[in-house]
């Protein structure tokens, strides 16, 4: 069974630009969560989607948004990029979300210059 | 608000020795899940072990075991017979069952040959 796939693996953007990251969950998983990982803050929860609906949201500004498609694939968008958005963005999927174990992808390393 | 605290940013252990990583959490919930994840340099987060709060018995997975103290809200990870491949960042995580999983800031574990 294929794991969680995140694309691209690396991305370099300039301040003010926008970026879209993609995540394909494990087949059959309906929940997709996104986390931002930085050395100083660790893993911070961005949002969770379940059956195309945002079910949980973290404390990030509105520049961070996401969506989930009917095939459970998810995209995350960051508009008006800031230097502080440089981070590893991790996507994780599970059957139902909540307290069940998450299966993570390899992440997308975003660098904002 | 629920929080997860890992008080040891870095630890080192001699190969074949035993090491214990500490984790405390804060919650008012009675039913939840606790996890330990491992993140090697490859960046992919891997589930090491999972504990259901309603179970008094401590979870064990081969060389990995936990000491779960519900009243003290403590969830430590013991790695026996440490191996070079155990070198990684270890994250303690809390999942309330119907909400997002919250991670601690991690403990970097070095294995000394």
The C-alpha of B14 sits at a distance from chain A's nearest C-alpha, in angstroms, of 25
Q: Is B34 within 8 Å of B25 (Cβ atoms)?
A: yes
Q: Region B12-30: what's the mean pLDDT?
A: 95
**Which residues of chain B neighbour A58 with C-beta distances below 8 Å?**
100
Q: Which residue has the higher pLDDT, B84 or A1?
A: B84
* C-alpha closest to that of B75 among B24, B112, B111, B109: B24
* Distant-in-sequence, close-in-space partners of B91: CB < 8 Å, separation ≥ 6: A42, A43, B6, B36, B37, B38, B39, B45, B103, B104, B106
**pLDDT value, residue A95:** 86
Residue A97: which pLDDT band, with cuts at 50, 70 and 90? low
Mean pLDDT along residues B35-51: 92
pLDDT for A41 equals 86
> Is B100–A56 a contact, with Cβ atoms under 8 angstroms apart?
yes
pLDDT confidence bin for B98, thresholds 50/70/90? low
Place of tokens 């498609």: A69
The confidence score (pLDDT) of residue A10 equals 97
Contact A94, A27 (CB under 8 A): no
End-to-end CA distance of chain A: 37
What pLDDT score was predicted for residue B2? 81
Instruction: Enumerate residues 6+ apart whose C-beta is below 8 A from A108.
Output: A6, A7, A8, A9, A10, A11, A21, A88, A89
Q: Could you report the per-residue pLDDT of A37-71, keeping only the tens digit for each?
A: 998 888 999 999 999 999 889 999 999 999 999 99
Give the residue, A75 or A95, on which the prediction is more confident. Answer: A75
* pLDDT for position B58: 92
pLDDT at B36: 97
Instruction: Show the tokens assigned to A1.
Output: 């069974």
CB-based contact A43 B42, cutoff 8 Å = no
Contact residues, chain B, for A48 at CB < 8 Å: 100
Closest CA to B64 of B74, B76, B79: B79
Is there a contact between A44 and A61 (Cβ–Cβ < 8 Å)?
Answer: no
pLDDT, average across residues A71-91 = 97
* pLDDT at residue B104 tops 70: yes
Q: What is the pLDDT of residue A2?
A: 80
| Ramachandran class of B96: left when φ > 0, alpha when ψ lies in -120 to 50, beta otherwise | alpha
Residue-level pLDDT at A98: 64
Name the band, by pLDDT with cuts 50, 70 and 90, for residue A101: confident
- Paired with A12 in beta bridges are A111
- Cα–Cα separations (whole angstroms), residue A110 to A8, A93, B1, B36, B65: 9, 20, 29, 26, 35
Banded model confidence at residue B18, pLDDT cuts 50, 70, 90: very high
């Amino acid at each position: 069974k294929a794991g969680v796939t995140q694309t691209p693996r690396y991305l370099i953007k300039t301040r003010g630009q926008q970026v879209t990251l993609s995540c394909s969950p494990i087949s059959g998983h309906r929940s997709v969560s996104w986390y931002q990982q930085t050395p100083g803050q660790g893993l911070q929860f961005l949002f969770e989607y379940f059956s195309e609906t945002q079910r949980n949201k973290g404390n990030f500004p509105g520049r961070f948004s996401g969506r989930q498609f009917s095939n459970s694939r998810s995209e995350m968008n960051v508009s008006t990029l800031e230097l502080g958005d440089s981070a590893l963005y991790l996507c994780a999927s599970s059957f139902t979300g909540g307290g069940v174990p998450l299966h993570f992808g390899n992440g997308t390393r975003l660098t904002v210059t | 608000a629920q929080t997860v605290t890992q008080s040891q940013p870095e630890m080192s252990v001699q190969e074949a020795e035993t090491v214990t990583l500490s984790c405390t959490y804060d919650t008012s919930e009675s039913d939840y899940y606790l996890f330990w994840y491992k993140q090697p340099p490859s960046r992919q987060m891997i589930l090491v072990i999972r504990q259901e709060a309603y179970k008094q018995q401590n979870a064990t997975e081969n060389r990995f075991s936990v000491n779960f103290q519900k009243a003290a809200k403590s969830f430590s990870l013991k790695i026996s017979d440490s191996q070079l491949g155990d070198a990684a960042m270890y994250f303690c995580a809390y999942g309330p069952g119907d909400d997002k999983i919250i991670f601690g800031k991690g403990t970097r574990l070095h294995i000394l040959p």
